Amino acid sequence: MKIQINEEFCIGCRLCEVYCLVEHSQSKDIVKAFKREAPRALARVHVEENGPVSFALQCRHCNTPSCVYACLTGAMHKDENGVVLHNPDRCIGCWSCIMVCPFGAITRDERGRKVASKCDLCPGRTTPSCVEHCPNEALTLVAEA
Amino acid sequence: MAYKYLIIGNSAGGIGAAEAIRSVDAEGSLAILSDEPCVAYSRPMITNLLTGQASFNNMVYRSSDFYTENRIETLLGKKVAKLQPSENKVTLDGGEEITYEKLLLATGGTPFIPKMNGLQKKGIHTFTTIKDAEEIRGKIQQQEIGEAVVLGGGLIGLLTAEALVTMGLKVTVVELLDRVLAPLLDPKASAMVREVVERNGIQVVTGRTVTEVLGKDEVTGVQLDDGRWLPCKLFVVAVGVAPNAGLAREAGLKVNRGIAVNSRMETSIPNIYACGDCAELLDFLSGNNRPIPIWPAAYMSGMVAGSNMAKSPKEYDGGVGMNSMHLFGFPVISFGKVNPTDAEGCEVLSKTDEVRGAYRKIVLSGNQIVGAILVEDIDRAGILLGLMRRKVDVSGCKEALIQDDLGLISLPRAVRSRMFEMSVKKNVAK
Ligand SMILES: Cc1cc2nc3c(=O)[nH]c(=O)nc-3n(C[C@H](O)[C@H](O)[C@H](O)COP(=O)(O)OP(=O)(O)OC[C@H]3O[C@@H](n4cnc5c(N)ncnc54)[C@H](O)[C@@H]3O)c2cc1C
Ligand code: SF4
Ligand code: SF4
């Protein structure tokens, strides 16, 4: 399964960002995640906006993941289900993955020791949180064509 | 001993190949051999080992059960002395022989040491392996070193200097060219890095080289070509690595600067493949083969080699010089052609933010990106590299490319839609 981006349906409401952050917070509670947790969790989906056009973008979990091939330490890896995951303990913040990701889907997490941050498709969930909370089906799950 | 697949070199290239072989052939006997006695590790992390910020356990490239899980036999701490292609055989240092059906040379690079007097003295080091890092660390812990000189203001030289200055040494970097990181950066970005490096206590001497290592048996200093004398008990030579192609050359394989390979990573002799730093890889910008001694290119060319060794045809679509640097936490990314000559007729877009110390330069040729430098604002650099790799015509969005908030939204809709579309399809490269 992959997340499909349906640009024409995105209304730029950024609920995906909000719910991604909540999903990756410690409490998974929207109020606590924004108000009480320090450092605050990071969203791994980002809405890009320019006038009337907007869309939400997260890691595409590429079949040929440049980030994995370029990672100097093995922190970035593809698991047996084809999900591209990042292990912050092994990451040295060298930003080689940022250099090669053609979607620009990796961000710098500089809240503590510098490490990469990206979408993990919400482990433990059947539907990723961004997809579930998108009010307009701008993000949908599709089987790989 | 006999193996279906024998890989010499247990690092980025060798592991890339082994993983590709196992994705095609789960059973065929496979061995990885290396003269380094340990499991594969992140070579760039030897700087962290030197400073003590990482232990070996933090540096291992794959999980502890990687070799057993993938049924890979490890022949570690063994050195290949000779290749005998006519008999599909290699001979080890002790005389032991190993036969193979398919052989991969993933032997990496060897540090290059320029000619100078006094090289036989104790206290001269290179810095490319765990062993180098342990030796230098041991020495710094045992005695009062005080001053160190690093020859080479390239990436490895500056990384070495960073590690040494972090450990409290007084460090001077000597670089022959007129600026640090000369091939990777333009004069402006180079000056920005130099400023950061100097601000962090490293002395940089450019336009000079070392002519003689001074001292009786042990290094006490180095002599520069302008007659200056720099005292030091530790002298690290880090002027670059040359492809480690000696075995291949002696066995009659075609070797230019590195081992010659075709797009399937086959060498000039059947059943022998080469990848990574020891080989001459396709540069997708120039269309020519040359050494591209970086980790991503080693891993990816290794994957291609492994796939072909296991009879699943695959072609290497080429690499390019690219580096992500973070000296003293200062992020700089560069790739492709960053110092175009006037004759090349390139178009250059650039933008500087003096206040934030940010700089961005994009080099275009015929409306295609052919190189870029990003200083400080490195986020989403890969979008530019991707456009360069796919040779996308960027005439419609040049102004946006140079902005620090560059996103896919800045690209023409057709380019972006195609990327999104491809990303949900099986078995396609992006
Ligand atoms: C300090 C440092 C920092 C670096 N930083 C970066 C970076 O930031 N980004 C980047 O992209 N690259 C970086 N590199 C370069 C990167 O490490 C190399 O490009 C990469 O390791 C090449 O991989 P390889 O598999 O081709 O060869 P290598 O990693 O060189 O491995 C080759 C292996 O083969 C073994 N071998 C050779 N000959 C024999 C023989 N005859 N018998 C048995 N074994 C043999 C060697 O001992 C070695 O273990 C850095 C390198 C260093 C040293
Ligand atoms: S981070 Fe980028 S390169 Fe890596 S899998 Fe995701 S989209 Fe692909
Ligand atoms: S920043 Fe971390 S995940 Fe990215 S390439 Fe470097 S070590 Fe790997």
Q: Are B86 and B79 in contact (CB under 8 A)?
A: no
Q: Which atom of ligand 3 is nearest to the CA of A87?
A: 3
Are B426 and A144 within 8 A, CB to CB?
yes
What confidence tens digit (pLDDT) does each residue in A12-61 have? 999 999 999 999 999 999 999 999 999 999 999 999 999 999 999 999 99
Q: Are A140 and A128 in contact (CB under 8 A)?
A: no
Complex-level ipTM = 0.97
Rounded distance between C-alpha atoms, residue B372 and residue B362, angstroms: 4
What confidence tens digit (pLDDT) does each residue in B202-240 have? 999 999 999 999 999 999 999 999 999 999 999 999 999
Rounded distance between C-alpha atoms, residue B228 and residue B208, angstroms: 10
Angle, vertex CA B21, rays to CA B17 and CA B23, nearest 5: 120
Tokens 């089906």 — which residue? A137
- For residue B124, the 8-state DSSP code is E
Taking residue B287's Cβ as centre, other Cβ atoms within 10 Å add up to 8
pLDDT-derived band at B358, boundaries 50, 70, 90: very high
What confidence tens digit (pLDDT) does each residue in B302-330 have? 999 999 999 999 999 999 999 999 999 99
Q: What is the pLDDT of residue B427?
A: 60
Q: What is the pLDDT of residue B123?
A: 86
A and B: number of Cβ contacts within 8 A: 128
Q: Is the CB of A78 under 6 A from ligand 2?
A: no
Q: What is the pLDDT of residue B429?
A: 47
* Averaged pLDDT score across all residues of chain B: 96
- For residue B237, the 8-state DSSP code is E
The pocket around ligand 1, CB under 6 angstroms, is made up of A 72, 94; B 8-14, 33-36, 43-44, 46-47, 79-80, 106-109, 127-128, 156, 159, 244, 247, 276-277, 293-296, 298, 323
Q: Could you say which of B299, B385, B424 has the minimum Cβ distance to residue A144?
A: B424
What confidence tens digit (pLDDT) does each residue in B406-428 have? 999 999 999 999 999 999 987 65
Residue A80 has pLDDT above 50, yes or no: yes
Q: Decide the pairing of beta strands B234-237 and B147-151.
A: parallel
Kindly tell me the burial class for residue B293, based on how many C-beta atoms sit within 10 Å of its own C-beta (0-12, 13-18, 19 or more): buried
Give me the mean pLDDT over the B11-30 stretch.
Answer: 98
Taking residue A31's Cβ as centre, other Cβ atoms within 10 Å add up to 9
What confidence tens digit (pLDDT) does each residue in B129-161 have? 999 999 999 999 999 999 999 999 999 999 999
Q: Decide the pairing of beta strands B229-231 and B221-224.
A: antiparallel
Are B296 and A96 within 8 A, CB to CB?
yes
By CA distance, what is A54's nearest residue in B? B409
Rounded distance between C-alpha atoms, residue B404 and residue B60, angstroms: 35
Rounded distance between C-alpha atoms, residue B218 and residue A75, angstroms: 40
**Min Cα–Cα distance to chain B from A85, Å:** 14
What confidence tens digit (pLDDT) does each residue in A101-142 have? 999 999 999 999 999 999 999 999 999 999 999 999 999 999
Q: Decide the pairing of beta strands B210-214 and B221-224.
A: antiparallel
Rounded distance between C-alpha atoms, residue B83 and residue B277, angstroms: 19
What confidence tens digit (pLDDT) does each residue in B48-72 have? 999 999 999 999 999 989 999 999 9
Residue B282 has pLDDT above 90, yes or no: yes
Rounded distance between C-alpha atoms, residue B231 and residue B187, angstroms: 29
Tokens 């690499």 — which residue? B319
Q: What is the pLDDT of residue B176?
A: 97
Q: How far is the CA of A114 from the centre of ligand 3 (A)?
A: 10
Partners of A73 on chain B (C-beta within 8 Å) are 42, 45, 59, 61
Q: Decide the pairing of beta strands B2-8 and B203-206.
A: unpaired
Are B382 and A107 within 8 A, CB to CB?
no
Residue B359 φ then ψ, to 5°: -155, 145
Q: Does B399 touch chain A (CB under 8 A)?
A: no
What confidence tens digit (pLDDT) does each residue in A81-104 have? 999 999 999 999 999 999 999 999
pLDDT-derived band at B279, boundaries 50, 70, 90: very high
Taking residue B420's Cβ as centre, other Cβ atoms within 10 Å add up to 17
Q: Is the CB of A44 under 6 A from ligand 3?
A: no
Helix, strand or coil, per DSSP, at residue B137: helix
**Closest ligand to the CA of B34:** 1
**Closest ligand to the CA of A103:** 2
Q: What is the pLDDT of residue A52?
A: 93
Q: Does B400 touch chain A (CB under 8 A)?
A: no
Q: What is the pLDDT of residue B428?
A: 53
Beta strands in B164-207, from DSSP E residues, in sequence order:
170-175, 203-206
Partners of B62 on chain A (C-beta within 8 Å) are 74
Rounded distance between C-alpha atoms, residue B13 and residue B259, angstroms: 14
pLDDT-derived band at B430, boundaries 50, 70, 90: very low
**Min Cα–Cα distance to chain B from A118, Å:** 12
Rg (CA), chain B: 23
Q: Does B28 touch chain A (CB under 8 A)?
A: no
Residue nearest to atom 6 of ligand 2 (CA): A59
Query: H/E element holding B17?
Result: helix B12-24
Helical residues (DSSP H) of B200-258, grouped into ranges:
246-250
Q: Is the CB of A65 under 6 A from ligand 2?
A: yes
State the best of B409, B417, B422 to mutate against chain A, taking most chain A CBs within 10 Å: B409
Q: Which atom of ligand 1 is nearest to the CA of B160?
A: 1
Taking residue A123's Cβ as centre, other Cβ atoms within 10 Å add up to 10
Which tokens in the block code for residue B418?
């195609």
By CA distance, what is A80's nearest residue in B? B23
What confidence tens digit (pLDDT) does each residue in B363-380 have? 999 999 999 999 999 999
List C-alpha distances in Å: B15 to A145, B83, B254, B267. Answer: 30, 21, 24, 19
Q: Does B158 touch chain A (CB under 8 A)?
A: no
Return left, alpha or beta for B220; rule: phi > 0 is left, psi -120 to 50 is alpha, else beta: alpha
State the best of A47, A87, A98 to mutate against chain B, taking most chain B CBs within 10 Å: A98
Are B42 and A102 within 8 A, CB to CB?
no
Sign of the Cα pseudo-torsion (B303, B308, B312, B317, in order): positive
List C-alpha distances in Å: B219 to B50, B57, B120, B291, B399. Answer: 20, 33, 10, 33, 54
User: What percentage of chain B carries pLDDT values higher than 90?
Assistant: 98
State the best of B376, B392, B405, B420 to mutate against chain A, taking most chain A CBs within 10 Å: B420
